[in-house]
């Protein structure tokens, strides 16, 4: 029995800040962002958008195509949790009107947890081939204003359906793991923005890649030459370029710069425009690869490196199924990015500052998002969500 991903869908916030705006406000050359870190835009949520509204937006596309029957598990991966107890997935479950016979759990380990959700889903389906598992990865990446992390902010969600006999991507069984108790990136409970030791985090990422790849190969994983394309966690797209350069060196792959870039270039295009989406970014990369790569990838093996600071990482592979292009929502996803409302730096900054201003208070949000779901505010410390008419 083969198991893997049968469908994948994308959503993001409905506002966008071009990093030219940020560069102009800071009085620097935008090339530092466009070229230096490989980012051109960042998605910025309306006040009535969050991880639940984006996650529901992505998951609704899966439900619309496949229905909710047979989905007995919903796994929600995020590091932008909205409640210390209740899973964000339960809110999505309610918005989508899914049945009561469903387990819903939220998973957290920095940017890695969507891959943990995928692995858990594979195990559930392996036990019972009739099971279907809906995985949602949704995050809003926030850093303090006027810090080095500010231009790498962003927001997006991905939902994917894990089943037997997958229609999109068969996940292969061999994985390589690497865990190390470090402090390269973290967010204490009392902060709404993350803290990061940038240089240390980049070094930790590359070290974890070497460790995960080494174990993957030691357990009988495919040789580098047998992997056609690669997807990496993308805190910013230039990080994926650095990571692939390192992997090529470690694996002894004698490829020139153009050949190395060809193996990952298509996977970078969507993340370049959404900004960092933490748990979702590697799977936004997968969707970008499948939609944007000009080659026919049917039957080709894709390598994945998932990294979550703190740190946990995993290297694994999947094989693209024939007919995969027929399942993609390429035009819709392009429109989702193109149709975002462009905002000026002043509005972005005001929205950023307003997040902490309402912590711990009851409040209502104005209906601003054009998306199908909205966060209506907090009443008696309970978050309220609505489906837009």
Active site residues: 79, 111, 233
Pairing of strands 132-141, 229-232: unpaired
Q: Which residues contact 216 (CB under 8 A, 6 or more apart)?
A: 174, 175, 176, 315, 316
Q: How buried is residue 20: exposed, middle or buried, by Cβ count under 10 Å (0-12/13-18/19+)? A: middle
**How many CB atoms neighbour CB 352 within 10 A?**
18
**Within its chain, how far is the Cα of 36 from the centroid?**
21
Phi and psi at 187, nearest 5°, equal -140, 105
CA dihedral for 41, 375, 278, 240, sign (positive or negative): negative
Pairing of strands 15-18, 341-342: parallel
User: What DSSP character marks residue 263?
Assistant: T
SS3 content of the chain, % helix, strand, coil (to 5): 40, 30, 35
- List Cα–Cα distances, 359 to 83, 288, 346, 378, 381, in angstroms: 12, 35, 22, 10, 10
User: What DSSP character marks residue 24?
Assistant: H
Nearest to 223 by CA among 160, 148, 277, 301: 301
Question: 29-62 in b/e burial notation, b at 16+ Cβ within 10 A?
Answer: ebeebbeebbbbbbbbbbbbbbbbbbbbbbbbbb
């Amino acid at each position: 029995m083969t198991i893997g991903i049968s469908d994948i869908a994308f959503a993001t916030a409905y506002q966008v800040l071009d990093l030219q705006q940020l560069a102009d406000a800071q009085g620097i050359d935008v090339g530092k962002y466009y070229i230096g870190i490989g980012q051109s835009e960042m998605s910025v949520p309306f006040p009535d958008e969050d991880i639940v509204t984006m996650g529901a937006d992505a998951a609704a596309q899966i439900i619309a195509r496949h229905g909710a029957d047979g989905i007995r598990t919903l796994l929600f991966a995020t590091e932008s949790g909205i409640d210390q107890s209740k899973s964000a997935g339960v809110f999505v479950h309610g918005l989508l009107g899914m049945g009561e016979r469903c387990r819903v759990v939220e998973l957290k380990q920095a940017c890695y947890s969507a891959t943990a959700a995928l692995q858990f889903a594979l195990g559930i389906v392996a036990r019972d081939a009739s099971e279907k598992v809906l995985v949602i990865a949704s995050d809003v990446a926030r850093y303090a204003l006027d810090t080095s992390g500010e231009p790498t902010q962003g927001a997006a969600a991905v939902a994917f359906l894990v089943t037997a006999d997958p229609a999109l991507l068969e996940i292969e069984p061999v994985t390589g793991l690497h865990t190390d108790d470090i402090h390269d990136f973290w967010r204490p409970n009392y902060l709404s923005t993350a803290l990061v030791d940038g240089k240390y985090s980049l070094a930790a990422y590359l070290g974890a890649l070497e460790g995960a790849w080494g174990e993957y190969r030691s357990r009988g994983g495919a040789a580098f030459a047998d992997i056609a394309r690669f997807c990496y966690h993308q805190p910013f797209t230039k990080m994926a370029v650095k990571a692939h350069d390192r992997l090529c060196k470690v694996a002894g792959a004698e490829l020139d710069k153009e050949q190395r870039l060809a193996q990952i270039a298509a996977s970078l295009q969507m993340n370049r425009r959404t900004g960092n989406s933490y748990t979702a970014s590697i799977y936004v990369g997968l969707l970008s690869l499948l939609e944007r790569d000009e080659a026919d990838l049917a039957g080709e093996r894709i390598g994945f490196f998932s990294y979550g600071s703190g740190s946990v990482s995993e290297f694994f592979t999947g094989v693209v199924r024939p007919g995969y292009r027929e399942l993609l929502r390429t035009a819709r996803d392009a429109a989702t990015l193109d149709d975002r409302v462009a905002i000026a730096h002043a509005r972005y900054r005001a929205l950023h500052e307003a997040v902490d201003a309402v912590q711990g208070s009851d409040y209502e949000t104005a209906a601003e998002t054009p998306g199908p779901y909205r966060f209506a505010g907090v009443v008696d410390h309970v978050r309220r969500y609505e489906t837009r008419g």
